[in-house]
Chains A and B, each alone.
Chain A
Amino acid sequence: MTGLSEVERPLALFTQGLANRIPIFHHEDQRHAINSSNLCELFLPQKFDYFDEPEANQDAYRWLVMQQLAFRRYDTLSFSIERARQLIPYLAAQPLPATHRSPDLDLFYQHFPKPELASYLFYILEEYRVANLVVAEFPGSQRLRQQYVCTKPIAVRANRRIRDGVKPT
C-alpha cells in the first residue's frame, strides 16, 4: 500500500513540472467540498493498494495526475451544456433539467433516460480520448497507462469519476 502523504512532494514537483502550476492535492472524498477551476486542484485517493510494489502504486498516482491535468487541458472540464445543446439536436429536444445549479456534466447526464449509465459511458469514452492525447504528448506515459488500465477493470477505474456521481453497478 502507498499513501498519498508518502509521495506527495515528488508528485507535486512532477505535477508542477508538467503543468507549470503549483498543485493542491485533495482526497477524492473532498471533491464536493472544493471545486475551483482557477486552481490546480487534483483529487487523488488517500492511498493506493492496487499493486504489491510501491513503485507501481507511485506510477498509478502519476498516471492519475496526468489524466486529471489532461481533463483540464483537453477541455473535459470546460464542457458546456448550453453549447452541447446547440450542437446536438437530441439534447436540444430534451427539456433542460431543473437543477440549474448542478455542474454542466451532471446536467448533461440528466438528459438521458439512465443518467448513471450515461455518466459511466461518458467516463469510458472521455478517459480513452484523453489518455490518447496524453500519450501523444508524453509518449513515455504509455507504460503508466498500460500498467494502470490493464490491471484494473473499467468498473473500478470509473469509480474515479470526472465528477462525483452514482457509481456504476
Chain B
Amino acid sequence: MVASGGEAPYYLPLSDEIDVFLAAYSQRLPILLKGPTGCGKTRFVEHMAWRIYGDDNLVRSPVKQPLTTVSCHEDLSATDLMGRYLLHDDSTAWQDGPLTSAVRHGGICYLDEIVEARKDTTVLIHSLTDHRRILPIDKTNELLEAHPDFLLVISYNPGYQSILKDLKPSTRQRFVSLEFDYPTEEREAEIIQVESGVDENSAKTLAKVGVHIRNLREHGFEEGVSTRLLVYAGSLMRQGIAPRRAANAALVHALSDDGEVQQAIADIVDVVWP
C-alpha cells in the first residue's frame, strides 16, 4: 500500500514511461510491465500510485488504498484474488480478495509476476481489461462494475519464463505494454547513491560492477545482477561493511550457487574495486 500523501517513492525515469502510464490511466487502459527482476517495476508502480492518487485532477474521488500489490505465486488462485466466504461465529461472511477490493473501491491493483499464478487468474482478469470493466463474482452472484478510479497493472518477466508459463497473446493483447530494462551505468549509479545513501564514487563503482556482471548472463543467472542487489551492497557499505565484503554478501553468493561463477563474480569485483 502507498499513502497518497507524504514524499514520493523515489523513481528515476528511464524514458517516457511516466507519460505513457498517465496517458493510459486517463483512459483507464490496463498496463503490462515487462522487464527483468529488480529493475524497478514495482517501485515505478508505487511512484505512479503516489502521483495519480495524490492529484485531485486525476481521480474522481479519494481512494482508501491507492495501491494493492499481489505477488503472484504458483498456488495463487482466482479465489485468492476474488475473495471467499469466511466463518464468522455461526455463519459465514463474504470477504473481498485484493482484486475485488480494488475493483470495488478504486486504486491500482498490481499483479506482480502474473504468469506465476494459476491459469484461472488470467481468465478472471479478462473482463476487467476491455470496455466492460466488470468482475463477475459467481459466489455472491454479483456483477461488479469497476470503480472509476480502478486500474489493473500486471507485470511479468519474459527472461526466465518457460514457454509453459508465458503470457498468452489473448491476455497480452489486452494491455498497454511498457518495457523495462536495467538503467544505464550513469543512471544506475544515481539510483544506488539515492537508495543506499552510499557516496558517489562507491555508487559509480557498484554500477560498473553491475555492468560487468551482466555480461555473464546465461551462466546460471539469466538476467544478471538487479539494481536492487546493487543497492543492497551499497546499503551494507553505508553501514560500515568493507566494500568487497559487502559485494560478496550482496552479489556473489546471491547470484549463483555455481562455485566457478561465484569465483568469476568475486574476481570481477576485485579488479573493479579500488
- Interface of chain B residues 69 through 121 with chain A (CB within 8 A): none
Q: Is the interface of B mostly helix, strand, loop or mixed?
A: helix
Report if A32 contacts B (CB, 8 A).
no
A14 close to B215 (CB less than 8 A):
no
Query: What residues of chain B lie closer than 8 Å to A19, measured between beta carbons?
Result: 215
B residues less than 8 Å from A79 (CB atoms): none
Interface-side segment among A83-91, A113-121, A133-141, A160-168: A133-141
The A interface is mostly helix, strand or loop, or mixed, namely: helix
Q: What is the CA–CA distance of A104 and B32 in the complex, to the nearest angstrom?
A: 55
Which residues from B are CB-within-8-Å of A13?
216, 219, 260-261, 263-264
Given A9-B260, A19-B215; A14-B267 close (CB under 8 Å): yes
Chain A residues bordering chain B, tally (CB within 8 A): 16
**Contact pattern, B 203-244, Cβ under 8 Å of A = 1, otherwise 0:** 000000000110110010000000000000000000000000
Q: Is the CB of A141 within 8 A of B271?
A: yes
Q: State the B residues within 8 Å of A (CB).
A: 212-213, 215-216, 219, 260-261, 263-265, 267-274
Residues of B contacting A18 in the complex (Cβ-Cβ under 8 angstroms): 212, 215, 268, 271
Q: Are A144 and B271 in contact (CB under 8 A)?
A: yes
| Complex Cα–Cα for A17 and B262 (A) | 12
The answer on a CB contact under 8 Å between A16 and B216 is yes
Q: B263, A10: Cβ atoms under 8 Å?
A: yes
10 more CB-based (< 8 A) A-B contacts, given A10-B264, A13-B264: A9-B260, A10-B260, A13-B260, A16-B215, A17-B215, A17-B267, A17-B268, A18-B215, A62-B267, A140-B272
Q: Is the CB–CB distance between A138 and B260 below 8 Å?
A: no
CA distance A19 to B212 in the complex (A): 8
Cα–Cα, bound, A62→B269 (Å): 13
